[in-house]
Amino acid sequence: MKSMKNLLGVAAVSAVIAAGFASTSARAQEAPEHYAMVVFLKGSEFFNWAYAGFQDAAKTVGATTELQGPADWDASAEARAVDQLVAKGVKGIAVTAGDADTLVASINAAMDKSVPVLTFDSDSPKSKRLLFVGTNNFNAGFAAGKAIGEKHGDNARAGISLFPGNDAVNQRIQGFKAGLASVAPGAKVIAEVNDEGDLQKAEQVNTAMLQANPEINVIFCAHGNPATGALAATRNVGRDQGDNKIDVVAWAIDVPILLGVQEGEFTMTVAQNPYMMGVQSFLQLWSAAHPTQFDNMNHPGFGNVPTADLDTGVKILMQGDPAVEALMTPPQL
Amino acid sequence: MPPIIDRQSRAQRSAGQKTALVQYIGLFAITLAILLGTQLFFGNVLTAANLEVLAMNLVFEGIMALGMTFVVISGGIDLSVASVFAFAEILVAKLMVEAGLPVPAAIVITLVTCTGIGALNGFMIVAFRVHPIIITMGTLLTLRGVNLAITDGRSISGFSEGFVFLGSGKVLGINFPIVFFIVTALVLGVLLANHRFFRQLYVIGGGERPARLSGINVNRVKIIIYMLSATLAGAAGIMAAARYGAAHWGHGNLAELKAIAAVAVGGANINGGSGTIGGTVLGVIFLAVVHNAFVTSAVNTFWYDVVSGVMLLVAVLLSRLTQRRNLFAQLRIRQAKMDQIATSTKGESL
């Protein structure tokens, strides 16, 4: 009797599995093409913009999408997400690399299995990815540095709030220094602080930086997170208004930052175009997943995509720019 | 060792065994239901590729969870494992890539260093009588800073093929880290269930004072357990560096919480005194399956942490409930036995 029950149990489980496989193959015939985006900071407004673009572009061709990735800046978790999406059988993956080297093995494995992968926003140049879609970070930093140099001239004394170890951030800082030097050779970068990508930490370290270096008249935020903390730091040292006001240069298009620009709290913000990064990422993946009569020159077997990186550019937004208002409505996901 | 320890730990073990069995069956059934349900509704779950990814997804946290099981049973906690994990990645990478040491030497030095960190954790906990949360949190933060400072925030890559095998190589068709996890779990599981030294943990977790009175060298046992936890975190870090082909200070962020969650879901009492390696393994598998189900179903991943958190709460509450029911049942049995003894003694005296 007991063995009969066991047998029935095994038969039930087998039936469920068989039904699962049967439904899978049936679904495979009907399902629309499915693409994925992997980010290293899930929930970030910047990546929400990028994903909205990705989603909207997918809708135009009847494809579906999903967003994956950690909420705590762990590139190894991104690598695992890429592995899992490949196992799931997605048609293409757009990934922003939390660490360039960590993603190499997973991206290469995906490409070897004929799943097209491209990077956006933060690159993994040593990998076999199809191309990079995003801001040329050096050029963007250069534009910010040039704008500050034009405003302050040789008197510019900048502090930089950064998150170490990210190639994109490093390139922005190099660009900022070069842009500053291009119009104001006497301008100087006085200090650099590690805000660890955290708002409260940004307030602490920037306050300490301003107290130790009272000559600083500009804080350049080299990534999206520290701007509000840096602004709070200028308040903490009583230099958020008046003649001695410190110019805070943000690097974000979050609503609080845009409001701050509109109200003159932030002198300027470097506005990338994450929505277009998402749109272009999808279109390139779609193209790569649908080969035409001539193969991709760099990656035979895939459809055609540009052989060079795709720069989505930036705009330096200041008070009164109509683009500020336009960006104030966050995307629907 | 005085026989009282054996009696106590055996009594606690047999009491816990019933509770554990019920929990394991429940957890296994839920895990299987999620797995089959996801296959049925979304497909692509029971494929070789997905099962491999599923196993690899939580294997490093799983290895950390094995060490954490011992710490939790002893009534402690080790929050530093994630930092030790990243530190091991960085140290082994620096020793190989920058110092040019051969792979075995780099691995041995890294493991010994991690064991030393665990010894320091254990020593500070027993010497200063400070709660393990504080000490290990201090180590977590200190090491995170050290990891950032010594790498300048950059990743280190360029490992030899021999080293990469530790992360991506296969033994009998199974990824090496999974083989390591299975073998370690089996060895530690057998030791925890049968070896006198490890059985002392249940007594210590049940109460340090009685454990001391029973003749157990509590301090020595605790230090060794934290050494074991850090060594396993170090081993996981070494394999992770090999797996990703890079060492980065941000790897393994919040891994300590996943390791603790796996131990708790596996039925260990977070206050100490109960828990098994088998339970932890089931907890790891459960968390991996839930994560996999989210990716497979393409449900908005913003909900993943919510569901994981709620499931952890439910698992822990169910565990407490079952333990309490079991305790009441034991008390009733004990009372009945005492009544029986009292009756027979009365009969004899008459």
ipTM comes to 0.77
Check residue B202 and give its pLDDT.
94
Tell me whether residues A165 and B148 touch, CB distance under 8 A: yes
Domain boundaries defined on chain A: 33-135+274-312, 137-272
Check residue A7 and give its pLDDT.
46
Tell me whether residues B53 and A194 touch, CB distance under 8 A: no
Q: Is B267 helix (H, G, I), strand (E, B) or coil?
A: coil
Shortest distance between the Cα of B222 and any Cα of chain A, in A, equals 31
Nearest chain B Cα to A197, which residue?
A: B250
Q: Find out if CATH 3.40.50.720 is the number for domain A33-135+274-312.
A: no
Check residue A297 and give its pLDDT.
87
Tell me whether residues A42 and B252 touch, CB distance under 8 A: no
Tell me whether residues B157 and A101 touch, CB distance under 8 A: yes
On chain B, the residues whose CB falls within 8 A of the CB of A127 are none
Candidates B154, B159, B302: best to mutate against A (most CBs of A within 10 A) is B154
Return the beta strands (E) in chain B as ranges.
Answer: 156-157, 170-171, 174-175, 246-247
Tell me whether residues B245 and A21 touch, CB distance under 8 A: no
Tell me whether residues A105 and B292 touch, CB distance under 8 A: no
H helices of chain A, in order, are 2-30, 45-60, 75-88, 104-112, 137-152, 167-183, 199-212, 227-236, 255-262, 274-289, 322-326
On chain A, the residues whose CB falls within 8 A of the CB of B253 are 70, 72-74, 77
Collect all residues with Cβ–Cβ distance below 8 Å to B106 and sequence separation of at least 6: B92, B95, B96, B99
d(Cα B150, Cα B143) in Å, to the nearest integer?
10
Q: Which of B248, B292, B302 is closest, CB to CB, to A75?
A: B248
* A vs B: CB pairs below 8 A: 138
Check residue B326 and give its pLDDT.
67
On chain A, the residues whose CB falls within 8 A of the CB of B86 are none
Superfamily of domain A137-272: Response regulator (3.40.50.2300)
The whole-angstrom distance between residue A206's C-alpha and the CA centroid of its chain comes to 24
Collect all residues with Cβ–Cβ distance below 8 Å to A32 and sequence separation of at least 6: A62, A63, A64
Number of neighbouring beta carbons within 10 Å of residue B105: 12
Q: Which of A76, A85, A101 is closest, CB to CB, to B295?
A: A85
Q: Which amino acid would we find at residue A263? A: E
Q: What is the mean pLDDT of each run of 10 residues along chain A (333 residues)?
A: 48 52 54 93 87 96 93 87 93 94 95 96 93 93 96 96 84 96 96 89 95 96 90 94 93 90 94 94 97 88 92 93 87 78
Residue A212 contacts residue A184 (beta carbons within 8 Å): no
Number of neighbouring beta carbons within 10 Å of residue B287: 26
Shortest distance between the Cα of B245 and any Cα of chain A, in A, equals 6
Tell me whether residues A23 and B43 touch, CB distance under 8 A: yes
Check residue B15 and give its pLDDT.
58
Chain position carrying tokens 């059988």: A89
Specify burial of residue B267 (Cβ count, 10 A radius: 0-12, 13-18, 19+).
buried
d(Cα A284, Cα B325) in Å, to the nearest integer?
59
For strands A268-272 and A314-317, give the pairing. antiparallel
The whole-angstrom distance between residue B141's C-alpha and the CA centroid of its chain comes to 20
Shortest distance between the Cα of B20 and any Cα of chain A, in A, equals 22
Q: Which of B40, B148, B302 is closest, CB to CB, to A16?
A: B40
On chain A, the residues whose CB falls within 8 A of the CB of B28 are none
Tell me whether residues A83 and B298 touch, CB distance under 8 A: no
DSSP one-letter code for B75: T
CA-wise closest residue to B267 among B207, B321, B319: B319
DSSP one-letter code for A190: E
Same fold, A33-135+274-312 and A137-272: yes
Check residue A13 and give its pLDDT.
52
On chain B, the residues whose CB falls within 8 A of the CB of A164 are 148, 152-154
Nearest chain A Cα to B292, which residue?
A: A84
Rg (CA), chain A: 24
The whole-angstrom distance between residue B25's C-alpha and the CA centroid of its chain comes to 19
Ranges of residues in chain B whose predicted pLDDT is under 50: 1-4
For strands B156-157 and A92-95, give the pairing. unpaired
What H or E segment, with its residue span, contains residue A220? strand A218-221
Candidates A101, A106, A167, A205: best to mutate against B (most CBs of B within 10 A) is A101
d(Cα A160, Cα A184) in Å, to the nearest integer?
17
Domains delineated in chain B: 3-349 (1.10.3470)
Q: Is A329 helix (H, G, I), strand (E, B) or coil?
A: coil
Specify burial of residue A114 (Cβ count, 10 A radius: 0-12, 13-18, 19+).
exposed
Check residue A16 and give its pLDDT.
52
